[in-house]
Amino acid sequence: MNFAANEVERFRYLMLAVQRQGGRLLNDYFEKTGITASQAEAISILESRQPLTLKELGNLLICEAGSPSRLVDRMVADGIIEKVVHPDDSRAVLLRLTAEGQAIAKRIKEIEEDAYRYINQLLTDQEIKSVNGMLEKFIKAFPIHETLVSRGYI
């Protein structure tokens, strides 16, 4: 294996390790609330954009590939999200947060701030900005880039 291939492989495993550790970190923070990082992402999206159809929510999620129906069904069963009839199409439903979901959304913001403070202890703002620029350049080659654009991260 040549030098370039070794560096690409190193990049691959560093990306995998960062993704896994980031997921663990967030899940550890969210454990206090009884929700997962995936649920927190869905709640945060709904909190800022509700009501949404299941498809619209799915198009904005980074944590879930495809349809988030199992994720949503679990949160409906837990009383975090409710389904309401779409005003323009009685066959369709919209998703929105319940009062409990709104309270959890507020707690999520606090937890995320704690997690971000921790990350800022590991990396400076300039280092984060530099890494973000490189990751953005990389991710532009893939369809998930559009999700990040829709969410306002790119």
Which of 67, 97, 102, 101 is closest to 82 using CA atoms?
Answer: 97
Q: In whole angstroms, how large is the CA radius of gyration of the chain?
A: 18
Q: What is the mean pLDDT of the chain?
A: 92
Which domains does the chain show, CATH number per domain? 7-122 (1.10.10.10)
CA angle (45 as vertex; 116, 79 as ends), nearest 5: 105
Which of 80, 26, 48 is closest to 153 using CA atoms?
Answer: 48
Task: Assess contact for 60 and 149: CB atoms under 8 A.
Answer: no
Per-residue three-class SS string for 70-134: HHHHHHHHCCCEEEEEECCEEEEEEEEECHHHHHHHHHHHHHHHHHHHHHHHHCCHHHHHHHHHH
pLDDT at 63: 78
pLDDT bin (cut points 50, 70, 90) of residue 84 is: very high
Share of the chain above pLDDT 70, in %: 96
Task: Assess contact for 111 and 28: CB atoms under 8 A.
Answer: no
Which of 146, 144, 153 is closest to 65 using CA atoms?
Answer: 144
**Could you tell me the pTM of the whole model?**
0.85
Q: What is the pLDDT of residues 12-49, one digit of tens each?
A: 999 999 999 998 998 888 888 889 889 999 999 999 99
